[in-house]
Amino acid sequence: MQKVKKDSDGQDIKPGARHEPDNRILSSEGHGETFASLMERRISRRGLLKTGAAAGALVLVSPITGKINPTSNSALAADGSAIPAVPSAGIRFTPIAPQPVDSQQIMVAEGYSWAPFLKWGDPLHLDAPAFDPLNLTPEAQRMQAGYNCDYIGWHPLPFYDQNSDRGVLFINNEYTNGELMWADYEAANPTKLQADVEMEAHGATLIEVARDANGLIRTEIGSALNRRITMTTPIRISGPAAGHEWMKTAHDPDGILVEGTINNCAGGITPWGTVLSCEENFQGYFGNLMHLDANDPRAEVHERYGISDETSNYGWENHYGRFSVSTEPNEAFRFGWVVEIDPYDPESTPIKRTAMGRFRGEGATIGHSPSGRVVFYRGDDQRFEYIYKYVSDDAYDPLIRGMGQGLLDNGVLYCAKLNDDGSGEWLPLVHGEGPLTAENGFHNQGDVMIKTRMAADLLGATKMDRPEDMQQNPVNKKVYAALTNNSERTEEEVDPANPRAENRTGHVIEFTEENNDSASTTFTWDIFLLCGMPEDENTYFAGFPKELVSPIACPDNVNFDTDGNLWISTDGAPAIIPYIDALHAVPTEGPQRGFVAQFLSVVIGSECASFEFVHGGRNLVVSVQHPGEGGTVAEPITLWPDGVAVPRPTVIQVWKNDGGRING
């Protein structure tokens, strides 16, 4: 069995695991009074009780315990009374029932179909070897799809035509499950071959795809645009931390070129056609902090970011000294950044953009400003960490494609302070402003970016319940942030933005930027969802009748369809509620606002890691990450999707049987 370690929160983790391993069902016992008083204030301010009652009288649903049909003329309310018919809007599919935690197959809404699309080990090039789980090599893995698919970015060909039948999919490959790759795997002591394969299985996969006459996505094996970005890919460092003393190593004395990218989780797309890939739990790959002098100023920073005192989660330091803090104290500072990659130029060198901050990054998603400046929203995925956004100094030039604009090197990173009255401020992380001075250990802007968390600590940003993906709604222009969970928040630490102690099921916050300008420095906010079982008194669904919604827990990644409906994928639900992780849709406006409807469920051991609407919304691609996690090669709990040898992380495609738009 692999050695179980603790992350900096003190939770038990497997290598790369991101969800809370808590097997208790959410209980409201002991927390109702605090929650009720909070929601009374929030609902009173916005009049949501009235809105929720009106929604319940109009929307076409029957209780979630039965079957929901948003287009039926004879739907029933919870009390059995008829609900009047209204024009079809918001949710246009019949939600599926939540599936058990041991589900062995994908389930999708009626009228839709799915199929595996890109599996771990699938060849990208004509000369790539076929996948052989009994003979994994780094040379083969470098030419094959990476492991543990997460964020998916759609890059149409040509890049300005979102309705195109052709495009490049960018897929993050977050981490590896060695216990599901080799029968003899020991996490603390992998062989050099195993470490080398794992390093090539990390990073990202880029592959050209096309939509055929039947509406199905096909991979274009051998396309010149296909490539892998891995832990051995040269990546340039730019921005205020480039050349910083703490970025210099024995192999890179200039501090401007790093080998590889790691734990790539969420991401985003720029208006100029590149993709932003975020390095999340990089701390799990570095060890031996205990051997660094405690008086060394780097030790405090490494500890704040969760570097292990002893061995890392992967044991790569046994073969490569750069993963040992005692051997190379600066290498870990070169990870935790946003990596910009050009999917249209396979010869281009990726760039780590240090002006966008260093933390366990979840997402870098675009926000729009009338000024023309670009804004990217970000979350730091750990308990009690912060929400950020980056605003460029200059306006975007729509005539320039590629990485040459320089907008991601010259701008301001802000952290969010959510006030109790529903107002909020974006606090700038700028050297020399406020407490970010030499007296507090910040001698230049490079210091501020390398120590982003510590800078945000001093500024007094609001400590959140694991901020993950954050995106702007293209229709109503509001911004929605997924807070996955926080089982460690106590009653004394509850605040209006994080209103539940032991928040095991997570919540979603709705932000309204001043004047709908993403570059503004003030905003207002509201609780949109408090996730969990509908019958739990501590849940809330934007005022929508709770008895009519699907159960949802641990919101992770979010996205929007063209109508402005919010879609939410989950990570860690089976540890909290008795159902497998899933993909849900929820309208943000109109009579169905808050109606959480489950569209798809994944399989045992996996999370619904990410998803993307492609080909003008006619197809949906979904990352099914780490299927079978909790088992081993010798004792698997699933062999999905092939039914042989080992489970394989897989991107699936979903389509509407009549050829129409998803949720159309």
Residues 381-433: tens digit of each pLDDT: 999 999 999 999 999 999 999 998 889 999 999 999 999 999 999 999 999 99
Could you tell me if 413 and 452 are in contact, meaning their C-beta atoms sit under 8 angstroms apart? Answer: yes
What residues contact 123, with CB distance under 8 A and at least 6 apart?
129, 130, 131, 143, 144, 221
* Cα(341)–Cα(356) distance, integer angstroms: 15
Average pLDDT, the chain: 89
What residues contact 425, with CB distance under 8 A and at least 6 apart?
416, 417, 419, 521, 522, 523
Tokens of 223: 């396309």
What are the φ/ψ torsions at residue 653 (nearest 5 degrees)? -115, 145
- Cα 428 to the chain's mean position, in Å? 24
pTM for the predicted model, two decimal places: 0.90
Could you tell me if 509 and 480 are in contact, meaning their C-beta atoms sit under 8 angstroms apart? Answer: yes
Q: What is the pLDDT of residues 482-492, one digit of tens each?
A: 999 999 999 99
User: What number is the average pLDDT over the span 26-38?
Assistant: 39
Q: What is the pLDDT of residues 144-178, one digit of tens each?
A: 999 999 999 999 999 889 899 999 999 999 999 99
Q: How far is CA 312 from CA 15, 155, 316, 460, in A?
A: 9, 35, 8, 31
Could you tell me if 184 and 134 are in contact, meaning their C-beta atoms sit under 8 angstroms apart? Answer: no
- Work out the percent of the chain whose per-residue pLDDT is above 70: 87
**Shortest CA distance to 355 belongs to which of 400, 414, 304?**
414
Looking at residue 84, its pLDDT comes to: 32
Tokens of 399: 């005539």
586 conformational bin, left if phi > 0, alpha if psi -120 to 50, beta if neither = beta
**Structure letter (DSSP) for residue 401:** -
Residue bearing tokens 């997570």: 506
Q: What is the pLDDT of residues 226-242, one digit of tens each?
A: 999 999 999 999 999 99
How is domain 5-280+336-489+500-623+639-656 classified at the CATH fold level?
Answer: Neuraminidase (2.120.10)
* Cα(423)–Cα(417) distance, integer angstroms: 9
Tokens of 537: 């008194």
Q: In what order do the strands lie in the sheet with 257-259?
A: 257-259, 234-238, 351-353, 338-341, 275-279, 264-269
CB atoms within 10 A of CB 294: 9
* Cα(125)–Cα(227) distance, integer angstroms: 8
Burial of residue 6, with CB atoms counted within 10 A of its CB: 0-12 exposed, 13-18 middle, 19 or more buried: exposed
Beta strands 227-229 and 217-219, pairing class? unpaired
Is the pLDDT at 42 greater than 90? The verdict is no
CB atoms within 10 A of CB 337: 31
Q: What is the pLDDT of residues 515-569, one digit of tens each?
A: 999 999 999 999 999 999 999 999 999 999 999 999 999 999 999 999 999 999 9
What are the φ/ψ torsions at residue 235 (nearest 5 degrees)? -135, 130
For the chain, the structural domain boundaries read 5-280+336-489+500-623+639-656
Is the pLDDT at 61 greater than 80? The verdict is no
* Cα(14)–Cα(187) distance, integer angstroms: 9
Could you tell me if 365 and 377 are in contact, meaning their C-beta atoms sit under 8 angstroms apart? Answer: yes
Residue bearing tokens 């670009």: 374
660 conformational bin, left if phi > 0, alpha if psi -120 to 50, beta if neither = beta
* Cα(373)–Cα(592) distance, integer angstroms: 33
Q: What is the pLDDT of residues 501-528, one digit of tens each?
A: 999 999 999 999 999 999 999 999 999 9
CA distance between the termini of the chain: 47
Buried b (16+ CB within 10 A) or exposed e, 608-636: bbbbbbbbbbbbbbbbbbbbbbbbbbeeb
